[in-house]
Structure 1
Amino acid sequence: MHRTASPYRCSALVTLAASLALLAGCGGGDDDDDTPAPEESRPQDALTFTPVVETSFAALAGSAVETDRWTGVLNGAAYRIEVPKTGWNGKLVMWAHGYAGSGPNLTVGTPIMRRYLLDNGYAWAASSYSKNNYDVRAGIEDTNALALNFVSIAGSKGRTLAAPSKIFITGVSMGGHITAAAIEAETETTAVHKVHYHGAVPLCGVVGDNELFNYFAGYQVAAQQLAGVPMTSFPVTNFATLAPAIQSALWTTFPTQTNAQGDKLKNVVMNLSGGARPFYAEGWANAGNQGNIWASLGGDGTISGILNKNVLDTTGLYYKVDASSTDKTALDDAFNASAFKITPAPDANRLRRDGLRWIPVVNGEFSVPVVSLHTLGDLFVPFRMEQVYHDRAKAKGNDQRLVQRAIRDVGHCAFTAAEATTAFDDMVKWEAGGAKPAGDDVATAATVASPTYGCAFTNNTPSTEDYTAPDVRAAFQAHYPACP
């Protein structure tokens, strides 16, 4: 897609170590065969990807900071590294790009806050990852490996650098998943390439890990049922041929205008994606959001071969079709009683002996400051991700380490560089001993539903580094509810 140990943590690591020991066949008696069975492969492992080799990348236009800029390939992944020629502050920022599709070519991204990083003396590095598709495991390992090789790569390029005093991580969408998972206790224990990051800024991230895929599955279940072609088994092998009929049954003009039956789906998705909130209606009618969602439906639950078995689970979802009341109604209960339930294979994303899970988890078990951003109208990686992240962190006693901010826009990762830069700057000041920065309450429904929700941290000051061109965003914003 976009495109200091604590008691709880020690306990978690002990439990994790025990689980890994069991998986590896440890602790058997004299009659047991202690040789672990080999780990199985998956379709993703059979694919071949090729890093796009760059000889250089351009200096940042308009920047007064002179830099060393290096490119290369490490462990099958392309990389970019940039370090100020003078005045490096000794800190390294790892950038994690978003989903890059399923094609064979591996390309590198550039951080949205690049200008801020250079102006403030940071070095940054970014990996293409050694695999495309939704391979967060590869993303973490290759990003970590690049961080561990930062000094040696600099040396091979003719510059001697000390080891970074601190390493931070930030990224967008799938890269936000990589960012959040990279600081988890489980990741720090099970990763092959181990890096301890000092702080993180996940942007528009899949910070609810598998809950994103459950959301897509719930959308499909509800859409099929409302369109009169209810799911009766899983996977739905002919979904591509069903899709046009479903859209015709629920929209008068797809994707902008639903009919009365489609309005029920609109209400379902509002609640599955984070509840009533500003910019939901605009996000629902956004062609980019709906296009991304529909491109994500109809799978078999293996996340396009990242897993070998179905991971989807809709048994915990509740479909709110009745917009006449915020409470559950008889209409809602009847719809849910008849809705098909997708159940996962219990070991689809199990712990592994050879490194990270195939889809690394975001359990809320982290020990460093985190500041996250999410646009309210994003329905591809919905705002609900932040609510899941909040709940998991709170359950682990880590909500005081997490600051979350809502941004008033509809696009996936449609931040200004000013918004992302402020989040990163606030995180590093907090990590250095400053006060905990302010954030938004993502958990209280009435707060999220307020017409002015998200005004505090939305900054429409444009720049050429924005993911959405300034004139395009300005045109969008002109039609959106204004902040006081």
Structure 2
Amino acid sequence: MAVPPVAASAASTTASGRRTITGTIDGTDFRVELPQSWNGTLVLYSHGYLPEGFPSFAIGLTNRAPDRSETEAWLLDHGYALAASQFADEGFGYAVERGLHDQIALLDWFDANVGAPQHTVATAQSMGAGIATQLAERHPQRFAGVATMCGAYDTHATFNSGLDVLFAIRTLLAPDQDIDLVHPEDPTGSARALTDAIQQALITKLGQARLALAAALSNVTGWYSAHEPRPTDPVEQIHNQAEWLQYAYTLGFGPPGRLDLERRAGGNPSSNVGVDYRRQLTRSAQTTQVEQAYRTAGLNLRADLDRLAAAPRIAADPAAVDYMHHIAVPQGRTPVPVLTMHTLGDGGAPPHQERWYAEQVRRAGNPDMLRQLYVNRGGHCSFSAAEEIAMLRTLFTRIHTGRWPDISPRPLNQTARGLGDPYQLVLDLGRTFTDAPMPPAFTTYAPPRQGDCVVDRRAP
């Protein structure tokens, strides 16, 4: 096989006999960690979306950040080798195409310079989940299993859904402002105008109701903090939804994120042509909350849905749609076992993504090769090391025995709890960026359907 040139590499060995190797392959930084005694399994990690300006740190190998990754230490203690590419462009933006290329380049390098693994497991978080599942679909002979956390599998549908939310905000809350939702000429200014509209809406009951409607179009949850219980007060829920809308949607799926995506896709891949927002609301998991908010505000929901229906629509660039379908949409083939894990309160990558992926597997793969776990907690990717390790141990058992172990919440919580206190810390990624101990929270859950966000919205 052809191995891309290594521009630079360095290795160090600790007193325990572990080795760290860092370097670049084809201009992309990578990091490899080797245990003192390797058990033959390599864990290849694909990171999530990093917005421009996100604080830089060492290349991550697990869901927990490198400076606080108890999972990384546990895997090395148990003989697993770890590797990850940062992807080109320092890992920023929607680097799915580069991730698919750079991870295989790293795997080639590992084979040539360390040794061919007996088993390679693709792990990932958020945007990286689409990369990990596609790596196994495209290179089934090179992977033994896939484990994803807080997956945003289908970047194309995710941006369509983000367009729905921001279209509703612009139409209902900022109708007279010049805000570019696609092809942004002033992404910073457009994002600021959307954020201002959201903050102003929180002041009044009318604005709160319209925020609830916009959030419902993508099942954006009213549970933002990983460290706080699920809010029960309707107004507090809307304030939590507004935090998701400001930070995940306005920036990530809004004009700044779209500028990066359109550069990669060669145009705008998103469309809301033909989308029936009245129908989408009826299929949302949050219809009742929206209706209640409108009644409280004394506002006519039908009139606002009529305004959305009458507003000029946004068409996609067909070539950009084709790019996304080629690069960013897993087919659902399952040549190896796939295990997923998602928090119930995730509003950045709502858990309906798991339902969508399971439906893909039912159409194109083998449902017996897929298992899905849920954690009763708010936030995006807010898992403890104990929960991550319990998930990985489940997949390792499936790979080595050919059978899934019991994945009901009780044994999973017992396994996670048995790892001890240092493994129970959970990072609140959205609000405080601090750790706090949280009890294991595996639970049973059936994610909702998400309106029309996952249909093929090609330009007419």
TM-score, with length taken from structure 2: 0.71
Paired residue for 1:363, among 323, 327, 331? 331
Q: Which has the higher helix share?
A: 2
Paired residue for 1:294, among 242, 250, 274? 250
Distance in 1 (CA, whole Å) between partners of 2:250 and 2:80 is 40
Displacement, 1:165? 1.2
- Does the residue aligned with 2:377 lie in a helix, a strand or coil? coil
Displacement, 1:275? 7.3
Q: Does 1:115 align with 2:82?
A: no
Distance in 1 (CA, whole Å) between partners of 2:189 and 2:376 is 35
Cα 1:82–1:247 change in 2 (3 A) is closer
Cα 1:293–1:462 change in 2 (3 A) is farther
Distance in 1 (CA, whole Å) between partners of 2:185 and 2:155 is 25
User: Aligned pairs, how many?
Assistant: 391
Displacement, 1:311? 0.6
Displacement, 1:235? 4.0
The one-letter code sitting in structure 1 at the alignment partner of 2:385 is A
Cα 1:233–1:141 change in 2 (3 A) is closer
Q: Does 1:337 align with 2:309?
A: yes
Q: Does 1:435 align with 2:416?
A: no
Distance in 1 (CA, whole Å) between partners of 2:244 and 2:7 is 27
Q: Does 1:311 align with 2:289?
A: no
Deviates more, 1:125-134 or 1:200-209: 125-134
Distance in 2 (CA, whole Å) between partners of 1:125 and 1:217 is 35
Distance in 2 (CA, whole Å) between partners of 1:295 and 1:164 is 39
Q: Does 1:135 align with 2:121?
A: no
Deviates more, 1:429-438 or 1:306-315: 429-438
Distance in 1 (CA, whole Å) between partners of 2:413 and 2:172 is 35
- Does the residue aligned with 1:168 lie in a helix, a strand or coil? strand
In structure 2, runs of 5+ residues without a counterpart are 1-5, 65-70, 224-228, 232-236, 282-286, 294-300, 445-460
- Does the residue aligned with 2:320 lie in a helix, a strand or coil? coil
Paired residue for 2:209, among 263, 273, 296? 263
Q: Does 1:91 align with 2:41?
A: yes
Cα 1:251–1:108 change in 2 (3 A) is closer
User: 1:97-155: CA deviations, max 9, x gaps?
Assistant: 2234447989622324212322322111111223333111111221112112213223x
Q: Which residue of 2 aligns with 1:48?
A: none
The one-letter code sitting in structure 1 at the alignment partner of 2:148 is P
CA contact (8 A) 2:385 2:424 kept: yes
- Does the residue aligned with 1:109 lie in a helix, a strand or coil? coil
Displacement, 1:237? 4.2
Cα 1:242–1:147 change in 2 (3 A) is closer
Distance in 2 (CA, whole Å) between partners of 1:135 and 1:258 is 39
Paired residue for 1:146, among 88, 101, 106? 106
- Does the residue aligned with 2:263 lie in a helix, a strand or coil? coil
Deviates more, 1:466-475 or 1:194-203: 466-475
Q: Does 1:82 align with 2:33?
A: yes
- Does the residue aligned with 1:408 lie in a helix, a strand or coil? strand
Distance in 2 (CA, whole Å) between partners of 1:245 and 1:309 is 23
Displacement, 1:56? 5.3
User: 1:342-400: CA deviations, max 9, x gaps?
Assistant: 32222214369xxx94x332121222111111222222222232222122222224333
Q: Which residue of 1 aligns with 2:385?
A: 417
Distance in 2 (CA, whole Å) between partners of 1:466 and 1:427 is 22
Q: Which residue of 1 aligns with 2:22?
A: 71
The one-letter code sitting in structure 2 at the alignment partner of 1:324 is E
The one-letter code sitting in structure 2 at the alignment partner of 1:463 is P
CA contact (8 A) 1:98 1:174 kept: yes
User: 1:186-239: CA deviations, max 9, x gaps?
Assistant: x33xxxxx8621110111122122111112211110101111417798546456
Paired residue for 1:390, among 358, 361, 379? 358
CA contact (8 A) 2:46 2:128 kept: yes
Cα 1:260–1:210 change in 2 (3 A) is same
Distance in 1 (CA, whole Å) between partners of 2:247 and 2:348 is 9
Q: Which residue of 1 aligns with 2:218?
A: 272
Cα 1:73–1:244 change in 2 (3 A) is closer
Cα 1:376–1:456 change in 2 (3 A) is farther
Matches within 5 A, 1:395-474: 395-432=363-400, 433-435=402-404, 437-438=406-407, 463=422, 466=425, 468=427, 472-474=434-436
Q: Which residue of 2 aligns with 1:219?
A: 165
CA contact (8 A) 1:94 1:169 kept: yes
Cα 1:247–1:89 change in 2 (3 A) is closer
- Does the residue aligned with 1:284 lie in a helix, a strand or coil? helix
CA contact (8 A) 2:150 2:343 kept: yes
The one-letter code sitting in structure 2 at the alignment partner of 1:434 is R
User: 1:281-302: CA deviations, max 9, x gaps?
Assistant: 3883574773232212125576
